Each structure stands twice: as structure tokens, then as C-alpha cells.
């Protein structure tokens, strides 16, 4: 009987032909891992708003009203309500200086006060006095308004009015005495006998 030939199984037909993804090369044992630098810290909106306002004030005092206006507008969009309000007020003041807007339409005592203080800072004493007096009419018991009005009156030469308003400011808030002593704007007024006596009651004067 002839010998049967053994069938040879073709292993190639049963081979799993699925494609495998190439593996990434292994990191050598002596290779140090790469440390990612931390993401830069982004300042908060409130911090950016305050920085813009402070930069704007520097330009404003330097009478660079165009640059100040742009920064005040940026600060007016921030989250801090007080800074935003003051920024809008100063934007309007810059507009007036640049002759881009009609006269201001101020309503509250705080608006007139903030505008008056801003005018003191640029030494527009006449306009400062007018707005502080208007603020005083709207809020007659506000010690900070009496203080600012005292300064405006003194810088305009009305030393009696300055003394009276400073006296009231100190009566309403005793800390105003020390604040005025340290206020560089009040330094020229301290040479007036009545104001000096008000600021330094512990000293005996020979005026």
C-alpha cells in the first residue's frame, strides 16, 4: 500500500495579520525627565483695573490727557465699582481738556467732590472750589468734603474760610488734624497763625 503523504499545514494562512501601531522608543535609563515650566500667573481683573487707573493718574497729573483718557476708559470697564466710577469721571475731565465733550453733568456729592479733588491736583483751584462748594451743599455733614474745601479755600487765599472748614473737618473726624499735618498741600497754609494753631494746639505760638 503506497505511503500517504502527510499534509503540511500552511501556518502563514493562520497568521494574525492585524497591524500594530509602532511603539514610541523607550526613554533611556539615564535620561532625565523634562520638567515643564509653570504657566505664567495672570493678574486678576481687579489688579489690572487698579494698575490702569494708577497709570492714568500719572498721565493726568502730567497733563497728558490723551494717554490718560485711554487708560481711564480701560479702568472704567473693571470690576471695582469705585475705581470704575472715578475712571469714568476722569475720562469726562480728559474729554473736557481735549475739547471733545460738553460740560460735565454731575449729580451727586461724591461726583462733585471727586471732581473738585482732581482739580486741586492740577491746580485749577477756582473750578475745584466751585465743585466742592456744590458737594458741601449736597452733603453738609461730610468731613472729607470740609477737609478738601478747606484746602481749596486756603490755596485760593481765603484763609478764614480754610480755617473754618478745617476746624469742622477735625471736629467731625479728629484724625484729620494729623492727616493735615502730613499733607504736603497743607504745608503752605500751616504758616497762617489761625491754621497753625488749629493744627498744633499743643504748641504755644507767638504770632
5-9, 92-96, 128-132: the lowest-pLDDT one? 5-9
- For residues 37 and 176, which has the higher predicted lDDT (pLDDT)? 176
The CA distance from 31 to 100, in Å, is 65
The CA distance from 164 to 160, in Å, is 6
The CA distance from 8 to 134, in Å, is 112
Looking at residue 204, what is its pLDDT? Answer: 61
DSSP letters for 83-151: HHHHHHHHHHHHHHHTT-SPPP---SHHHHHHHHHHHHHTT-HHHHHHHHHHHHHH-TT-HHHHHHHHH
Single residue among 72, 87, 105 that ends a domain in this structure: 105
Using the predicted structure, report yes or no on whether residue 12 has a pLDDT greater than 90.
Answer: no
Is 189 inside a domain boundary? Answer: yes
Single residue among 65, 90, 105 that ends a domain in this structure: 105
The CATH number of residue 182's host domain is 1.25.40.10
Q: Do residues 203 and 171 share a domain?
A: yes
Looking at residue 105, what is its pLDDT? Answer: 66
Tens digits of residue pLDDT in 52-109: 999 999 888 887 888 888 999 999 998 998 899 889 888 888 887 777 545 566 788 9
Report the number of distinct structural domains present in the chain: 2
Q: Which one, of 80, 55, 78, 81, lies nearest residue 68 by Cα? A: 55
Mean pLDDT calculated for residue range 37-44: 56
Domain housing 148: 111-207
Using the predicted structure, report yes or no on whether residue 205 has a pLDDT greater than 90.
Answer: no
Cell 455733614 locates to 141
Looking at residue 152, what is its pLDDT? Answer: 95
Is 32 inside a domain boundary? Answer: no
Q: Mutual orientation of helices 143-155 and 125-138 as an angle, nearest 10°? A: 150
Amino acid at each position: 500500500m503506497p505511503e500517504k503523504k502527510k499534509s503540511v499545514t500552511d501556518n502563514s494562512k493562520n497568521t494574525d495579520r492585524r497591524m500594530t501601531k509602532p511603539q514610541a522608543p523607550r526613554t533611556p535609563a539615564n535620561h532625565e525627565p523634562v520638567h515643564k515650566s509653570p504657566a505664567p500667573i495672570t493678574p486678576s481683573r481687579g489688579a489690572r483695573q487698579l494698575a490702569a487707573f494708577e497709570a492714568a493718574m500719572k498721565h493726568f497729573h502730567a497733563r497728558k490727557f490723551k494717554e490718560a483718557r485711554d487708560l481711564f476708559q480701560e479702568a472704567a470697564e473693571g470690576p471695582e465699582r469705585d475705581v470704575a466710577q472715578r475712571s469714568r469721571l476722569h475720562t469726562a475731565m480728559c474729554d473736557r481738556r481735549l475739547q471733545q465733550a460738553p460740560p460735565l453733568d454731575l449729580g451727586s456729592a461724591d461726583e462733585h467732590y471727586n471732581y473738585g479733588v482732581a482739580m486741586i491736583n492740577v491746580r485749577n483751584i477756582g473750578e475745584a472750589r466751585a465743585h466742592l462748594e456744590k458737594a458741601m451743599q449736597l452733603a453738609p455733614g461730610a468731613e472729607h468734603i470740609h477737609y478738601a474745601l478747606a484746602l481749596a479755600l486756603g490755596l485760593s487765599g481765603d484763609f478764614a474760610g480754610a480755617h473754618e472748614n478745617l476746624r469742622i473737618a477735625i471736629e467731625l473726624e479728629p484724625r484729620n488734624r494729623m492727616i493735615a499735618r502730613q499733607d504736603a498741600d497743607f504745608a503752605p497754609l500751616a504758616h497762617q497763625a489761625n491754621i497753625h494753631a488749629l493744627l498744633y494746639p499743643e504748641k504755644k505760638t507767638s504770632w
